Amino acid sequence: MEDYIRKEKSSVLGHTICKANHTSSAGGDDYKAFVRRIEKLLTVVKTTKEEIDNNGKEIATSYTDAINDIRKYREDIDSYLNAMEHRLLERCHEINKENEKAIKKLDSEFKAMKYELDTVYSRLKSHGRQSGDMVLVANKTSSTLKSIVQDLKADNGETKLQLCLFKRSKTIRDMISSDRAIGKLEITLTHPSFQEDKKNLYDMVSNNKGEINVKSKTDKKDCYITSIIVISSDTIACADWANNSVKLVETKTGKVTSEIHLSSQPWDLTSISDDQLAVTVTSENKIQYLHNRSGLSKSNSIDVVGRCRGIAYNKENLVVSYDDPSKVEILNMYGKVLRCLKTDTSGNALFERPYYVVASADGESVYVSDNEKHSVTRLTFDGEMLGTYKDTELRCPRGLVVCRDGSLLVCSSHGHSVHLISSECNKLKVMLRRKEGGEFCQAICYFDAADKLYLSNFTLSDQIRVYKFT
């Protein structure tokens, strides 16, 4: 960096002297221009130095956070395993007590039966030599014998002893046997850019780069893409509501490389890690986890209470919206409800039909698009309303996405447009209108690294439109 600055200064100063020798008036203008250039360069150096200092602080913070997260994760696992162990042991103790009680009861009843049988047997033997008495005694004891036999049959049929056999969880057994990691460290490389920051979306314009056909050979209906997320630089995942499937699609070739069929319609997708996704299955009131290891496969699922719609992953938790009943819940990864957002501080309903949710760039708040209220609402995770976006062109908002600068893009389905709004829910501008491809737009995804926008709509149901922002 120092060599670069030194070289820049040398070239600037040398060029200034050269110009000054030619003409004084031109030299004056050149002098001012080069002064501005040096000032700009010094500003870049100052900004870079600040960035280096901030990176150092961020590295220290990320180290501490990673250590704490790993330990907290271990505590959560221990807590979960302890709870499961306690539950199993308690059940074993219950079964053992039930068996002890049953055996004690049987022992008492069989002792009484044995006594009666011994009495009958002794009586028969004592009268064995007297034929007349034998017949009399046999007649008297026959009813007693019948009663004992009936009691034996009853006890044998009604009293059941339970045998305990512990069967290990296949999922946990496979994880232990395969030495699979309980998590992974995601390494993000950071370095001073020493260049101007990328443009904000507000200063950019969209260029239509064509369409990606996402219809597969197994599809029986026209596609209805309700969610799109980026998996890698050349792969996206999309939820196809009409064909009950989730698909992986190569963006360069437009080829469906993997798909998995669900038992009913999927609505929204979120990425949990490099190889794990979660999808809401609306009519079944459940969230299905999916693995992405050389193709899509089903993992476990969790049941929820209500018709789940939007889903977002944030800080080891899931943010889920429901349209029946209308609410937003924060769940842990096992489906436990941590918080439920339904009403404001005055008791008024927050939502009517919340279709999609995303977490803010800093992960401290959540944005919800409401199809019936024609609005986007920003709330804290405690339910405090921070802002609301409404506009005459925002009708039936659907998919929304947070961009690198904290601003949001949101689909106005019946407004035939894509809106850019600030993190405070203020209108910045309309990025796409009907003539530019915003017709009945549904799902939206923005890939910051390449400044690419992926957009689905009802008109071209089998295709996802691709835009490049410049």
d(CA 358, CA 373): 17
Q: Within this chain, do residues 242 and 290 fall inside the same structural domain, yes or no?
A: yes
Q: Within this chain, do residues 394 and 257 fall inside the same structural domain, yes or no?
A: yes
Q: What is the pTM of this model?
A: 0.61
Confidence (pLDDT) at 36 = 62
Task: Please report which confidence band the pLDDT of residue 438 belongs to, taking 50, 70 and 90 as the band edges.
Answer: confident
Q: Within this chain, do residues 327 and 219 fall inside the same structural domain, yes or no?
A: yes
Confidence (pLDDT) at 154 = 62
Q: Within this chain, do residues 8 and 81 fall inside the same structural domain, yes or no?
A: yes
Task: Please report which confidence band the pLDDT of residue 101 belongs to, taking 50, 70 and 90 as the band edges.
Answer: confident
Task: Please report which confidence band the pLDDT of residue 135 belongs to, taking 50, 70 and 90 as the band edges.
Answer: low
Confidence (pLDDT) at 114 = 75
How many folded domains does the chain comprise? 2
Q: Within this chain, do residues 260 and 351 fall inside the same structural domain, yes or no?
A: yes
Burial 81-111 (b: 16+ CB within 10 A, else e): eeeeeeeeeeeeeeeeeeeeebeeeeeeeee
Quote the DSSP letter at residue 143.
H
Pick the residue with more confidence: 258 or 30?
A: 258
pLDDT of residue 40 exceeding 80:
no
Sign of the Cα pseudo-torsion (77, 81, 87, 90, in order): negative
Pick the residue with more confidence: 395 or 134?
A: 395
Pick the residue with more confidence: 149 or 85?
A: 85
Confidence (pLDDT) at 416 = 92
Q: Which amino acid is at 92?
A: C
Mean pLDDT over 118-136 rounds to 64
Pick the residue with more confidence: 159 or 101?
A: 101
Q: Within this chain, do residues 444 and 391 fall inside the same structural domain, yes or no?
A: yes
> Which of 163, 197, 231 is at the close of a domain?
197
Confidence (pLDDT) at 373 = 96
Quote the DSSP letter at residue 43.
H
Measuring CA to CA, how many Å separate 21 from each of 15, 26, 27, 133, 289? 10, 10, 8, 152, 73
> Which of 197, 224, 243 is at the close of a domain?
197
Pick the residue with more confidence: 204 or 8?
A: 204
> Which of 173, 197, 221 is at the close of a domain?
197
Full domain range(s) for residue 170: 1-197
Q: How far apart are the first and last CA of the chain?
A: 29
